[in-house]
Chains A and B, each alone.
Chain A
Amino acid sequence: MKRIIYLFILTLCLTFAFLDHDSNGVAYNPLFHNHNDQTDGATQSIAMPCGLGGSENHKH
């Protein structure tokens, strides 16, 4: 029974991911851009997620 509850909770989390995807869509794909790409007039930077956003890979 506990195993089923565990999988049920996991399914709920995955459903949340689906719903979030459905409502937000992919306005910007972080894997498809280069340094200094000009998209809609804005400078985009390579996306390397890091804690405080201080990586040299970012241009904040």
Chain B
Amino acid sequence: MNTLVKKIDLSVFIYSIIGTLVFSYLLVSQISHRHLYVFLIGIGLGVSLYHASFGFTGGWRNFIERRESSSLRAQIIMLGLAVILFSFFINSNSWIYQGKMIGAVAPVSLSVVIGSFIFGLAMQLAGGCGSGTLFTASSGNGKMAITLIFFMIGSLVGTYHFDFWRLAPSLGGISLLNEYGKVNSVLLQLSILLMLYYVVFKSDQKQNSNFSHFDIFDFTNFKLFKGPWPLILGSVLLVFFNVLMLQAAGHPWGITFAFSLWAAKIVQLIGIDVSSWAFWKLSYPSTALENSILADPTTVSNLGIIFGALAASALAGNFFKASLINRKILIAAILGGFLMGYGARLSFGCNVGALFSGIASGSLHGWVWFLFAFLGSMVGVRFRRVFYS
């Protein structure tokens, strides 16, 4: 017990608790109780992401470089669970409010192909994806904080080029749920995930003699407050919180729209009028730009992730562990962050909004995103060696 108390970063933990209380009060008193729910779900996501070290970037890189598949298998299981659960809820009435919940269905277009490829490449340079960048930056990783700043800038530039990418060839939004019905679309997606799992574990087994299906279920070192949590717990909790997000917000979990919005609000302060850009004239972005930043649900869930990761890192005694940042790594963080932001805007989101929530919602664009981001990562892993050698 004494050891545990010693290791807790009390000042940071108190900071996160006070921040949580202040924002909770502000959201429920001035905006809505549903914003409070979204905020609390964000905290759950932040804690889960941190303690399970749940990131797409490292998992994909481990598989590409060494065929080590544990993280990728956990992600496949997460997607399978989400596909099943979301099929019950999409287009049905919420438990929390009166109205239907909608999926993250976006067009299958050339911009998705290019954007997801860029994103996949860039996340290997930066060392973190959309969710990874947010939770690691929140837990005091200076390099990822730099990545986050350039993620926002890249995302804003992506909105500036909206007119150009809008004209890219597109098949429009394709919802497998609508095309094939609930049962068939779930069976189709589960079959693909099962095949993927088979291919992934076979190549791991071939290369690594110590392969085990059960490594992601390993609770041996599990500590609730300090972590680490096993990957499977991370998978289950991320699905659980994404379902709650769907129930509370009416749409699945997303991250990167808020980055564009934050950057747009900041540059407006220095006199750049983004409201004249085509993207910021669209119905939702224009409203979000004029509205309080705290009315945007994506911002609110991101704030929750920030406080959740902050509290979790304080409990683990790992807040702000100094990391070596040399010039090459700094360039990788800047370049990776910028390209991730730009790619996310082109491809309708990141590994969360497009891949996780997209596939869970039965949107074909999620699968396209997965494929091309993985191909991008294969290239990115090679580029990464230039910066991290």
Q: Which residues of A contact B (CB under 8 A)?
A: 2-3, 6-7, 9-10, 14, 16-18, 20-21, 24-32, 34-35, 44-60
Contact = CB atoms under 8 A, between A and B. Distances in A.
Q: Which 8 A-B pairs have the closest CB atoms?
A: A49-B257, A56-B173, A53-B282, A21-B292, A51-B348, A48-B251, A51-B345, A20-B293
B254 A17 contact: no
Contact of B297 (A9, A25, A27, A30): A30
B42 interface: no
B383 interface: no
Interface stretch (B102-110, B195-203, B222-230, B327-335): B102-110
Contacts of B320: 2-3, 6
A57 B38 CA distance: 19
Contacts of A35: 100
Interface in B87-104: 97, 99-100, 102-104
B293 to A, nearest CB: 4
A52 B165 contact: yes
B173 A52 contact: no
A51 B257 contact: yes
12 contacts: A6-B145, A21-B26, A21-B292, A25-B292, A30-B288, A49-B288, A50-B348, A51-B345, A52-B165, A54-B173, A57-B102, A58-B284
Given A7-B15, A58-B282, A51 B256 contact: yes
A39 to B, nearest CB: 11
Contacts of B322: 2
Interface in B232-285: 249-251, 254, 256-258, 265-266, 279, 282-285
Interface residues of B, number: 72
Interface of B: 12, 15, 19, 26, 30-32, 34-35, 38, 97, 99-100, 102-107, 109, 111, 115, 140, 142, 145, 158, 162, 165-166, 170, 172-173, 175, 249-251, 254, 256-258, 265-266, 279, 282-285, 287-288, 290-299, 303, 306, 310, 319-320, 322, 344-349, 353
Contacts of A44: 283
Given A26-B292, A26-B295, A51 B105 contact: no
B99 A34 contact: yes
A21 B262 CA distance: 12
B295 A29 contact: yes
B14 to A, nearest CB: 11
A9 B26 CA distance: 21
B250 A31 contact: yes
B278 to A, nearest CB: 9
Contacts of A6: 140, 142, 145, 320
